[in-house]
A and B are shown apart, each in its own frame.
Chain A
Amino acid sequence: DGGITQSPKYLFRKEGQNVTLSCEQNLNHDAMYWYRQDPGQGLRLIYYSQIVNDFQKGDIAEGYSVSREKKESFPLTVTSAQKNPTAFYLCASSRDPRRGETQYFGPGTRLLVL
């Protein structure tokens, strides 16, 4: 059953703590993306990766880091430098990013600050 999985569904972060959100896809897609969704703000791009071992900053990359060591995995770390991390985080993937291919989304992770 192909798709995108994100874990955990809910994540709680303490002050000064780094947390990592998991994103895995078995669609054999080349490109993967991380978005943040806040109420009334729509989706904002954090980072994206078009191929393994390469990634680019999106519009709101400060306080976040990513890695792309495998084609199917694109974990996002929310660092302590991100002062307002409470949000709904969405991972997406697409086939060839050079051809305007549709992005497919995972179920999301809701991050809350304790």
Chain B
Amino acid sequence: QKEVEQDPGPLSVPEGAIVSLNCTYSNSAFQYFMWYRQYSRKGPELLMYTYSSGNKEDGRFTAQVDKSSKYISLFIRDSQPSDSATYLCAMSDMGGNNRLAFGKGNQVVVIP
């Protein structure tokens, strides 16, 4: 079983819809959870960062972490064509070397 599982998609939605992305993981030691957005042929950019369980909201983006289920989610409200990108989940423990475990990425296409 891979450490982090993420459905690669692609996921196509009409403009204005809610995008829902998720990752599952197997390592219960993970404490830090991140979502990165990556446009084609660019480096990933940090979108959301959360510690432990709970919700975090930033504008149209909401990140949720459920450690009991080993499940994290990212929601994008009022999706725009500019949200079309690949979204990567990443997570780490407190092992001292800050190594991140990444999902494979989920490609999202927002259709105008």
A→B interface (CB under 8 Å): 4, 6, 31, 40-43, 45, 48, 50, 56, 58, 88, 90, 94, 97-108, 110
CA distance A98 to B97 in the complex (A): 6
Judge whether B104 and A98 touch: CB under 8 Å. no
Given A105-B43, A105-B45, A108-B43, A100:B105 Cβ within 8 A: no
Judge whether B34 and A102 touch: CB under 8 Å. yes
Judge whether A42 and B98 touch: CB under 8 Å. no
- Chain B residues near A99 (CB, 8 Å)? 94, 98
Given A31-B98, A97-B98, A102:B46 Cβ within 8 A: yes
CA distance A14 to B90 in the complex (A): 34
A94: contacting residue among B8, B36, B44, B98, CB under 8 A? B98
Judge whether A104 and B46 touch: CB under 8 Å. yes
Name the interface residues of B25-81: CB closer than 8 Å to any CB of A: 31-32, 34, 36, 41-46, 49, 51
Judge whether A103 and B98 touch: CB under 8 Å. yes
CB distance from A108 to the nearest CB of B (A): 5
A48: contacting residue among B34, B49, B51, B97, CB under 8 A? B97
Q: Does B92 contact A (CB under 8 A)?
A: yes
- Chain B residues near A43 (CB, 8 Å)? 44, 88, 100, 102
CA distance A92 to B97 in the complex (A): 14
- Chain B residues near A42 (CB, 8 Å)? 6, 88, 102-105
B44: contacting residue among A48, A50, A90, A110, CB under 8 A? A90
Given A90-B44, A97-B98, A107-B43, A102:B49 Cβ within 8 A: yes
CA distance A45 to B101 in the complex (A): 9
CA distance A45 to B4 in the complex (A): 14
- Chain B residues near A50 (CB, 8 Å)? 97-98
